[in-house]
Amino acid sequence: MDFKSTIFILPGLGDSGPEHWQSIWENRFGFVRIQQDDWETPVCEDWIAKIQQTISRHNPGAVILVGHSLACATIAFWAQKYNYAIKGALMVAPSDTEADSYPLGTTGFAPVPLAALPFRSITVFSTNDFYVTAKRATLFAESWNSELKNIGDAAHINSASNLGLWKQGLTYLQALDQGA
């Protein structure tokens, strides 16, 4: 599987461990992880700055961001602040930072931006995700003008979901990469 775009992996709270599909994709395809300074008690402005520092060194029109969980809100905040027309974003299991179930310790990630993103995006959610309801995931996708993909019961679409390479996710990424 070949990709034309420059693809960056953006893990959520706590980073993505070796069994997470993001890490598997990174190792298999050579995608680059945007390393945050603080994975456990993040500050939104710091995470946004890391995205901006990374993208500013590349042709934005060739960049695809692959965000998981808290990184989806981060991408929405980054887009609101910088308004870059990147090639696209795959937003997987967007956490509802406003929900009572969301863990404490994050700063500045709520409320989740509900403005249209200035680039194509695909939002993927699971019907039994503890961190976002189907209703909220749908609201995020509609607000972001994002294509919505419901993959059924896959929990938080993380390591515990045992997705391995997660081929279904790769088809969404390929669609963004190919502009299909």
pTM metric for this prediction: 0.96
Q: What residues does 107 pair with on adjacent strands? A: 43
Q: Average per-residue pLDDT in the chain?
A: 96
Query: Comparing 28-32, 51-55, 66-70, 100-104, which segment has the lowest mean pLDDT?
Result: 100-104
Domains and CATH numbers, the chain: 6-178 (3.40.50.1820)
- Tell me which DSSP letter residue 161 carries: G
Tell the residue number behind the tokens 């887009």, with chain if given.
Answer: 79
- Which sign, positive or negative, has the C-alpha torsion 132, 107, 67, 180? positive
**Taking CA 167 as the corner, what is the angle to CA 67 and CA 20, rounded to the nearest 5 degrees?**
50
Q: What is the pLDDT of residue 79?
A: 98
What is the band of 63 on the pLDDT scale with cuts at 50, 70, 90?
Answer: very high
pLDDT number for residue 159:
86
Over range 102-129, report the average pLDDT: 96
Which amino acid would we find at residue 73?
Answer: A
Q: Regarding predicted confidence, which is higher, 159 or 78? A: 78
95 neighbors 102 (Cβ within 8 angstroms): yes
pLDDT band at 106 (very low <50, low <70, confident <90, very high): very high
Express each pLDDT in 68-81 by its tens digit. 999 999 999 999 99
Q: What is the pLDDT of residue 22?
A: 97
Round to whole Å and give the CA distance between 69 and 97: 10
Average pLDDT over residues 1-27: 95
Which of the four pLDDT bands, split at 50, 70 and 90, describes residue 24?
very high
Q: Residue 180's pLDDT is what?
A: 60
Under 8 Å between Cβ of 147 and 118: no
What's the confidence (pLDDT) of residue 179?
Answer: 85
What residues does 125 pair with on adjacent strands? 150
Residues 6 or more apart from 60 whose CB is under 8 A from it? 84, 85, 86, 87
Average pLDDT over residues 123-129: 97
Cα–Cα nearest to 74, from 38, 41, 43: 43
pLDDT of residue 60: 94
Query: How large is the average pLDDT for residues 116-125?
Result: 98
Length of the chain measured in residues: 180
Amino acid at 20: H
DSSP 60-120: GGGEEEEEETHHHHHHHHHHHHH----SEEEEES---TTSTTSPS--BS--SPP-SPPSS-
Q: Once rounded to an integer, what is the mean pLDDT over residues 87-98?
A: 97
Element (H, E) at 125: strand 121-125
Please list the alpha-helical segments (H only) found in 108-155: 134-144
